[in-house]
């Protein structure tokens, strides 16, 4: 006679498995990304350091206008700082590549912080106008924190193209978030406290963030002192990408100024900040989704499609302004148009990483930022002239034209060789303690 499987109720309860039956879920791409040791720490410091990038210009304009009552002077001082940064930035990045992020970024940041504090002092004490230009030009040594962060990801994720794609997408989304929140925070601080508050808080955030970022030595890319690689400007395939960055800077700069003019013409100048924030929000969301997507094929094949999508979507604000004249319709159009920005920037910067010579990655990434800054300055000027002498609605044709130029260059540029190892650096050594 067969014996029963359980002789008592207690035996039965012990034998029953009460563990919840749940399916095993693979961690998402961003959770896998930040599972690498040290990545959360350097990302936190970098975000603190990057947030002021969207605060300094707005804070300086508000501070100077409050003291001198001159938008022309404020705009000229801000443009001087932008031009100085575009000129000095690549040299600072070259020093970072040669001597290391920690050794260069901290003193360069302290020098830039002194320039911002000098600007506050000159404005507060009523110093001559030329001192404002000199003080703000000294902030040009501010290191490209976004480029240094991307260099760390390229160092840590060498050989893993999909993970590097996710990291670059996250960095682009972080850029959009900082440039979306930075101006809002600057306006709140300057309005709620005193005109100099935005600049002072931005300086504190910048210094704190860079110090925290530089302290994470275990993830810092190794210094390659003996490199004899050619300059990124002379590397195959880099110049066309930088020209495209210049054209995209024109898109961003002109769109900002023209949107401000359109909102003012509609009688709602205070709403322009919210409308522009929607464009950044669309780009931020698209960047995160693009990072979670697993792309197939090389970045060089995806890039023309990204630029084409951006050129097509940039027509939406022009159509919304010309056909409806509604600020609400323009906001919706900018939200949708912004969704093409992050994928285009991510793919373009990935190509720059792949084509930058060994040991010159920070310099290559900073050249891309320099191209964007130059385009933003030029786009602001052209967009402002068009809005003033033709109309604000016609001004939306400037970003459309610039995006079309970027698309044309994309298709006309000759193909360039890319390396199988992303980041343009030597094989990764063990992490330092």
Q: Kindly write down the DSSP assignment for every residue of 161-202, as one continuous string.
A: HHHHHHHHHHHHHHHHHHHHHHHHHHHHHHHHT-TTHHHHHH
Same domain, 121 and 141: yes
Residue 10 counted as domain residue: no
Domain co-membership, 184 together with 286: no
Domain final residue, candidates 222, 250, 280: 222
The pLDDT assigned to 301 comes to 82
- Total domains in the fold of the chain: 2
Q: Which residues have C-beta within 8 Å of that of residue 153, sequence separation ≥ 6?
A: 164, 167, 168, 171
Give me the residues of the chain with pLDDT under 50, please.
1-22, 419-433
Considering the domain architecture, whether residues 347 and 262 belong to the same structural domain is answered as: yes
The domain boundary, picked from 170, 197, 222, lies at 222
Question: According to the model, what pLDDT value does residue 319 have?
Answer: 92
Range of the domain at 296: 230-419
> Do residues 42 and 216 touch, judged by C-beta distance below 8 A?
yes
Residue that is written with structure tokens 């960055």 in the block: 245
Cα(155)–Cα(361) distance, rounded to whole angstroms?
10
Structure confidence at residue 208 (pLDDT) = 92
- pLDDT at 203 (0 to 100): 92
pLDDT at 229: 57
Domain identity same for 333 and 349:
yes
C-alpha closest to that of 336 among 286, 394, 293: 286
Residue 429, domain member (yes or no): no
Q: Do 300 and 170 share a structural domain?
A: no
Do 44 and 188 reside in the same domain of the chain? Answer: yes
- Specify whether 121 is located in the same domain as 262: no
Together in a domain, 280 and 342: yes
43 in any annotated domain: yes
Same domain membership, residue 237 and residue 196: no
Query: Of 206, 222, 238, at which residue does a domain stop?
Result: 222
Same domain, residue pair 263 and 393: yes
Residue with token string 């499609």: 305
Task: Say whether both 371 and 277 belong to one domain.
Answer: yes
The per-residue pLDDT for 5 is: 44
pTM to 2 decimal places:
0.72
Domain-located, residue 148? yes
Residues 58 and 138 in one domain: yes
């Amino acid at each position: 006679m067969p014996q029963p499987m359980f002789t008592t109720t207690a035996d039965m309860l012990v034998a029953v498995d009460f563990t919840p039956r749940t399916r095993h879920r693979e961690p998402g791409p961003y959770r896998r990304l930040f599972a690498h040791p040290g990545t959360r720490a350097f990302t936190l410091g970098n975000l603190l350091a990057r947030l002021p990038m969207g605060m300094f210009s707005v804070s300086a304009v508000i501070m100077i206008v409050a003291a001198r009552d001159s938008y022309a002077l404020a705009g000229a001082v801000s443009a001087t700082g932008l031009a100085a940064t575009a000129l000095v930035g690549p040299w600072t990045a070259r020093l970072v590549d040669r001597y290391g992020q920690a050794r260069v970024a901290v003193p360069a940041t302290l020098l830039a912080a002194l320039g911002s504090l000098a600007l506050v002092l000159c404005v507060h004490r009523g110093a001559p106008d030329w001192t404002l230009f000199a003080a703000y030009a000294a902030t040009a040594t501010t290191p490209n924190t976004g480029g240094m962060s991307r260099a760390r990801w390229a160092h840590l994720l060498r050989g893993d193209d999909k993970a590097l794609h996710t990291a670059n997408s996250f960095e682009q989304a972080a850029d959009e978030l900082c440039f979306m929140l930075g101006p809002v925070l600057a306006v709140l601080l300057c309005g709620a406290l005193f005109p100099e508050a935005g600049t002072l808080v931005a300086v504190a955030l910048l210094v704190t963030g860079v110090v925290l970022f530089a302290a994470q030595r275990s993830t810092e890319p190794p210094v390659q002192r003996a490199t004899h690689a050619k300059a990124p400007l002379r590397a195959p395939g880099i110049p066309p990408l930088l020209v495209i960055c210049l054209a995209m800077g024109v898109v961003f700069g002109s769109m900002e100024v023209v949107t401000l003019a359109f909102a003012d013409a509609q009688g709602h100048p205070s709403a322009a900040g919210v409308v522009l924030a929607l464009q950044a929000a669309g780009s931020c969301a698209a960047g995160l989704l693009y990072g979670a997507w697993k792309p197939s094929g090389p970045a060089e094949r995806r890039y023309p499609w990204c630029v084409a999508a951006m050129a097509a979507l940039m027509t939406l604000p022009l159509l919304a302004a010309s056909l409806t004249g509604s600020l609400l319709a323009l906001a919706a159009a900018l939200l949708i148009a912004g969704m093409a920005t992050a994928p285009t920037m991510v793919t373009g910067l990935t190509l720059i990483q792949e084509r930058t010579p060994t040991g010159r990655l920070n310099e290559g990434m900073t050249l891309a930022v320099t191209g964007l800054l130059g385009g933003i300055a030029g786009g602001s000027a052209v967009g402002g002239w068009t809005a003033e002498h033709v109309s604000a609605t016609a001004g939306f044709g400037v970003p459309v034209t610039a995006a079309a130029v970027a698309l044309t260059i994309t298709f006309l540029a000759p193909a360039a060789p890319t390396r199988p190892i992303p980041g343009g650096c030597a094989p990764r050594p063990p992490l330092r303690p």
